[in-house]
Amino acid sequence: MGIPQLRRHLEPYAERAALEPGTAVLDGPALAYHVLGLCSRTARKTSPFEQPSYELLGRTAIAWLKQIQACGFSVSAIYFDSYLPGSKRPERVQRLLKSSRDLIKYHSAFLGGVPRASPHHAGDTNVDLFPNAWPTEKKAKPPAPPFLVPAVIDALRDSPEFGPLVKLVPGEADGFCAQHVRQHAGTVLTSDSDLLVYDLGEAGGVVFLADIDADMETQRLIAPQYRPADLCKRLSIKPDTGLQYLAFEISRDPHLTLEQAVEKSKTGEAASASPGEYAEFIDLYLSPEVASKFEPDQVPALDPRVSEIVLRSLRTSGTVTVISENDPGPQEYNDSALEMYLPFLLDYPSRTSAWEASKPTRQLAYAVLQLLRGSNIPSVAETRRLQSISSGLQIEVPGPTETDGLGASLLALLSNIEGGVGEFELVWVMLAIYQDIVMAIDRARGYPLSLEVLRQEARGKLDASSWDFLHLLAQTQATYYSLRMLRQILEFSAQHTGALSATLSELVQFLSRLPSLPDFPSPTTFAKTISSSLCADYEDAIPLIKSARQPQNSKKSKKRKFIASNEANPKTHDTTPTTTTLSTITALRTSLTTETTPLPVRFRALFSLKHLAASNPPTSAESLAAIDAIAAGFASPSALLKHELAYCLGQTANGAAIPHLTAVLEDVGEDAMCRHEAAEALGALGDERSLEVLKRFRDREGEEVVVTETCEIAVERIEWENGEGRKAERLRASDFSSVDPAPPMAQGQEEQTVEELGNALMDTSVPLFKRYRAMFALRDLASPPDLPTAVPAVLALAKGLADSSALFRHEIAFVFGQLAHPASIPALTAALSNTEEASMVRHEAAEALGSLGDEEGVEETLKKFLHDKEAVVRESVIVALDMAEYEKSNEAEYALIPEVKGTA
């Protein structure tokens, strides 16, 4: 996961040379993703059909390790984590949010279907193990293969040479890698800069996988080597705490130069100023949390995420305790529910998660966990594709007494399907289709997706690049993996408890024939399965599905709700505020309102509060607490922050924000930029009760022009929102979820062209509200960025930066921030560089450039204005650089919410 900038800062001080023969310890997950990069290097990143197969990934991992050993490194251990501490949960959720956001962006980029494989794609050929270059791809791309890490583990386990070296450890792999080299010396091969913060001992070192080159003539490896002991000497910092202080300084402020960070670390400045925060930071490295029941060699041979829920279930039962390396005493466990982090699938964002149809299989797996722990598990929180910060989807777990009956039902279902298909390999696909049909029937919503895809195939119209096809594939993969989870948990239960019932033993035997991961359905194989093997005539599937489902429909059977039904009897959501959520809001409020907190951190806290306010019922305690927390920030002296507070309140769709916004607008001593944003937010909320105050300040003599113009637009928006004319308008669907100051231009019988909208945009004879409507219509024609209209629309919008209204120019810059289109960079750079431009325009241009931070030269442009004479510009650049750092990194969603939007 790493500390941003730490590796870049230390790279000049690493020793780049031929590596001396020695012992290597592998960070397993890093190895898996490195191998994915190697296998994908020459593929088109935008096409899932060019992703490497699991067979190629496993084969490449073994070939790479063999080449490492041929070059003098003896691999002594390959560590994979099978349990992550609870402290990692926020980071994991944020990564999942980023993956969800990226999936939405990928879908938006290819609404009509994903790119097919190129005719020139070589497929599973030989892979260059030590390439000289790593091509980058800035276009939206699909998620990584969902079962990448377990597939690599399986391949390594099947290798006589490397199988004995694979170690699933009851904690983070990082900590065990560090412990290994600390005790036995050697070098950790990883991609994670966090390893530099651990105690590696005098002889321990780190080499980053992507840095490794090989000289095949001399059979030597060449790479920069990071030895903490040597780095401390070269930087003249303390050998015991120097790197830890340095990492802490950089983690708090990634924009520090190395010289600044080194000077601060020599005195432990940040650690002394925030001892509690430092203690929490360093505890992750000095005392990593592990589930202590099992030694590394005793952790069950499960997939990492399956192993994690097994260990957590034993941990909460008291079978497994939790210890820290420096504190052998057990630690208290506060989780109220077990969590299962499901692999991230390439599914259709507009449909229910592809994991939903196979939920009954996983419910049975979770029920088996109760046999291990000896007590009930009321529910398991599954984390799938997320739209917001969440504690996961609560999955009800059937009681221990129902487990045998549920196992018998599943076994009977599988046997019934086996009797109806010609090839045993199709049993699993047919089960996926069965589960899809059952889900559709139980929800009484629409035609089953599986039958629709089969109907397309029967008519010769199957489109394997369509999102419907990909979603059915993802559902089928979810069915396969849910069965794999069940089999592994049953096998471990038999090993741990000594025996299973006769029914569950028979079920394990049936599931032992489940295909291995390389034989799971994939984008390149699934269409063939459907077209040539499954159902030439899809109607043949219907009688089989009905006959398989018939026993489950008996009214006398209470077991069906766990085998066949998904949401037949949905429970009413508990609206009682959770202590966890309210505590989170309190913590976020503290971060937001504390003036010593770095501005980027305050912005992230603000966006999180905005999400909590918008995603909970308007009158709920959570929503009201989040709105109050945001409003508390108006006491800040920062105009930039206060204007952003007003924007976020306007996006909550909650009338409770109106009094706070009205107070800001009425405070004539407040910064005009903040008052303008408060007026715009009142317009976004659309409440007619705000018309009086908006009209009053629209017509107020001597009022700031930006406030007058904003009130004018807000009045028109509210009147449009509540008027009859709106109902007759036809609006183009937008990729953007923000509530804008004006709706896009209404569509006529023929869609307006970029030229027509550009003319409307620059027509100063009409009200600003109408010009804004043209502006947002142009924005929608520029997304996704590969639309033929995208670049012309961006260039048309750029002309608006020459308008006489600062408000109008500022809104153009805001729209550019939403679009994050490279074609806007020249116009934004010019606006920011013009010191005679209004500060509200320059600030917006800076933040818009931040959303383009992964584009060449943008970060350098922003840094030029870190010391600008205008405070709001300086602060905006700080926030923009933080956004730029996010854009260039693999961090989670910047604002913690997968929305396509910019800051205001």
Q: What is the pLDDT of residues 35-82, one digit of tens each?
A: 999 999 888 889 999 999 999 999 999 999 999 999 989 999 999 998
Query: Does residue 843 have a known ligand-binding role?
Result: yes
- Residue, of 160 and 457, whose pLDDT is higher: 160
341 lies in some domain: no
What is the enclosing helix (H) or strand (E) of 810? helix 806-819
Do 454 and 514 fall within a single domain?
yes
| Token pair listed for 343 | 């692999």
Query: Residue 43 has what pLDDT?
Result: 84
The pLDDT tens digits for 372-414 are 888 899 999 998 887 666 667 888 999 999 999 999 999 999 9
Q: Which CATH number fits the domain that encloses residue 218? A: 3.40.50.1010
Do residues 162 and 25 lie in contact, with contact meaning Cβ atoms separated by under 8 Å?
A: no
Residues 837 and 885 in one domain: yes
Which residue, 728, 753, 776, sits at the end of a domain? 728
* Residue at 821 is within a domain: yes
Cα dihedral angle (29, 35, 40, 41), rounded to 10 degrees?
120
Asked whether the predicted pLDDT for residue 710 surpasses 50, the reply is yes
The residues, any chain, with a CB within 8 Å of residue 716's CB and separated by 6 or more, are: 742, 767, 769
In a domain? residue 266 = no
The reply to whether 447 and 533 lie within a common domain is yes
* 289 within domain boundaries: no
> Is 367 inside any structural domain?
no
| pLDDT for residue 891 is more than 50 | no
Whether residue 724 is found in the same domain as residue 762: no
Tell me the pLDDT of the chain averaged across its residues: 85
Tell the burial category of 286 from Cβ atoms under 10 Å away from its Cβ (0-12, 13-18, 19+). middle
Domain end call among 207, 227, 247: 227
Contact 566, 479 (CB under 8 A): no
Q: Are residues 613 and 747 in the same domain?
A: no
- Regarding whether 768 and 697 lie in a shared domain, the answer is no
Question: Is residue 573 marked as binding?
Answer: no
Which residues, 6 or more positions from 38, have their beta carbon under 8 angstroms from its beta carbon?
60, 64, 127, 128, 129, 131
Mean pLDDT throughout 407-427?
88
Q: Identify the domain containing residue 811 by its residue range.
A: 742-904
Cα 854 to Cα 7: distance, rounded to the nearest angstrom: 18
Q: 161 among the known binding-site residues?
A: no
- 381 lies in a domain? no
Q: Is 644 annotated as a binding residue?
A: yes
Position 133 scores a pLDDT of 76
The CA distance from 898 to 883, in Å, is 15
894 versus 236: the higher-pLDDT residue is: 236
Residues 723-746 have a mean pLDDT of 86
| 148-170: average pLDDT | 95
Write down which residue in 227, 258, 283 finishes a domain.
Answer: 227
What pairing do the DSSP bridges indicate for beta strands 213-215 and 220-225? Answer: antiparallel
At 753-795, the pLDDT tens digits run 999 999 999 999 999 999 999 999 999 999 877 778 889 999 9
- Nearest-5° angle of CA 311, CA 389, CA 342? 40
What is the pLDDT at residue 388? 60
Judge whether residue 549 has pLDDT over 60: no
- Classify 473 in phi/psi space as left (phi over 0), alpha (psi -120 to 50) or beta: alpha
Q: What is residue 335's DSSP assignment?
A: -
Domains in the chain, number: 4
Residue 468 lies in a domain: yes
80 and 219 both lie in a single domain: yes
821 is an annotated ligand-binding site residue:
no
Q: 753 and 662 share a domain?
A: no
Same domain flag for 664 and 698? yes
Q: What is the pLDDT of residue 187?
A: 95
Percent of the chain with pLDDT over 70: 87
Count of beta carbons in the 10 Å neighbourhood of residue 329: 8
pLDDT at 821 over 80: yes
Q: According to the annotation, is 643 in a ligand binding site? A: yes
Residue 302 lies in a domain: no
- The reply to whether 683 and 802 lie within a common domain is no
Domain containing 902 — which CATH number? 1.25.10.10
Angstrom distance (rounded) from CA 193 to CA 243: 12
User: Which CATH number covers residue 678?
Assistant: 1.25.10
Adjacency order of strands within the sheet including 15-18: 15-18, 220-225, 213-215
> 500, exposed or middle or buried, with CB in 10 Å at 0-12, 13-18, 19+?
buried
Sequence length of the chain is 904
Q: Does 721 lie in the same domain as 746?
A: no
Instruction: Based on the fold, state whether residues 95 and 143 are members of the same structural domain.
Output: yes
